């Protein structure tokens, strides 16, 4: 029973964290970064500002939290792929499984121009770049561990897992940026498959 209660508490905490992060993203996309306060985010998520402070130290942390969660989910999904699957096939499918965090992968037909423009401005917000860099560094560490486990290499000494991890983080950033600027806008899955397909093929020159 104690284990059940602890598990329920952990799930509620995770749900609150997710709600706060989505509230921060939604309000920033709709209003712009400078026009969103911590009080607004807490109210949108239905909690107090004190509760917000229990989870995040700033609105920037709250916004980038889902970015970090996504990277962690992809690393976890990679660890669960079949051992005999080619590495880039496994990474591509892990990215597809983990990118959406259990939600539908955005389709270009379902995103309004205003929402996409708001996302574009949010991702480019100078104040958030430090948070995105911290999330990217943490993601590289997690990806390197997952790749090392899969390939029997040492993430502290071997170049391969660290190189692949750096490429994956860069590729995921390209996926997001390309999806935001492409016209007409494709589905995120199309962009992701295109980017990782090029990597799997060794990045051949465009013809």
Reported as a single tens digit per residue, the pLDDT across 23-52 is 999 999 999 999 999 999 999 999 999 999
Q: At what angle do helices 59-79 and 87-99 cross, to 10 degrees?
A: 140
> Residue 90 in 3-state DSSP?
helix
How sure is the predictor about 99, in pLDDT bands with cuts at 50, 70 and 90?
confident
Domain covering 59-206 assigned CATH 1.25.40.10 in the classification: no
Instruction: Give the torsion sign (CA, 95, 101, 104, 107).
Output: negative
Query: pLDDT digit string (tens) for 158-187?
Result: 999 999 999 999 999 999 999 888 888 888
**Are the beta carbons of 99 and 74 closer than 8 angstroms?**
yes
Domain boundaries, the chain: 59-206
Burial class (CB in 10 A: 0-12, 13-18, 19+), 25: buried
* The token pair that represents 80 in the structure block: 């669960």
| Secondary structure of residue 145 in the 3-state scheme | helix
pLDDT score for 45 = 95
């Amino acid at each position: 029973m104690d284990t059940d209660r602890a598990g329920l508490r952990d799930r509620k905490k995770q749900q609150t964290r997710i709600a706060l992060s989505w509230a921060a993203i939604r309000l920033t996309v709709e209003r712009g970064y400078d026009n969103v306060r911590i009080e607004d985010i807490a109210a949108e998520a239905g909690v107090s500002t004190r509760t917000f402070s229990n989870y995040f130290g700033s609105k920037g942390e709250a916004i980038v939290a889902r970015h970090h969660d996504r990277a962690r989910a992809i690393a976890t999904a990679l660890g669960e792929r079949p051992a005999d699957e080619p590495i880039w096939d496994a990474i591509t499918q892990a990215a597809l499984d983990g990118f959406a965090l259990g939600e539908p992968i955005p389709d270009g037909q379902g995103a309004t121009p205003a929402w996409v423009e708001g996302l574009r401005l949010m991702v480019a917000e100078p104040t958030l770049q430090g948070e995105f860099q911290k999330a990217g560094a943490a993601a590289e560490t997690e990806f390197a561990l997952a790749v090392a486990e899969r390939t029997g290499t040492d993430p502290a000494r071997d170049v391969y897992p660290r190189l692949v991890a750096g490429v994956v983080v860069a590729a995921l950033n390209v996926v997001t940026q390309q999806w935001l600027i492409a016209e007409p806008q494709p589905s995120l899955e199309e962009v992701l498959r295109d980017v990782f397909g090029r990597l799997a093929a060794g990045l051949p020159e465009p013809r």
